[in-house]
């Protein structure tokens, strides 16, 4: 039982990390586009 819980936690952590990374990438890309529009 403990093994299953640990596995689920690991998957959730990986998912959270990927979501955070994707959010940062999308945000930085949006800022980059915005700056290019101004220039």
Please write the tens of the pLDDT for every residue from 21-36.
Answer: 999 999 999 999 999 9
Asked if residue 2 has pLDDT above 90, the reply is no
Q: What percent of the chain has pLDDT over 90?
A: 79
Look at residue 10 in the predicted model and tell me its pLDDT: 96
CA-CA distance, 39 to 29, in Å (whole number)? 15
Look at residue 38 in the predicted model and tell me its pLDDT: 82
Which residue, chain included where needed, has tokens 């994707």?
22
For the chain, the domain total comes to 1
* Enclosing domain of residue 15: 1-39
Q: Which tens digits make up the pLDDT trace of 7-19? A: 999 999 999 999 9
Widest CA span of the chain, in angstroms?
57
């Amino acid at each position: 039982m403990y093994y299953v819980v640990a596995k689920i936690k690991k998957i959730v952590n990986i998912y959270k990390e990927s979501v955070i990374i994707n959010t940062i990438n999308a945000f930085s890309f949006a800022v980059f586009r915005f700056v290019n529009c101004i220039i």
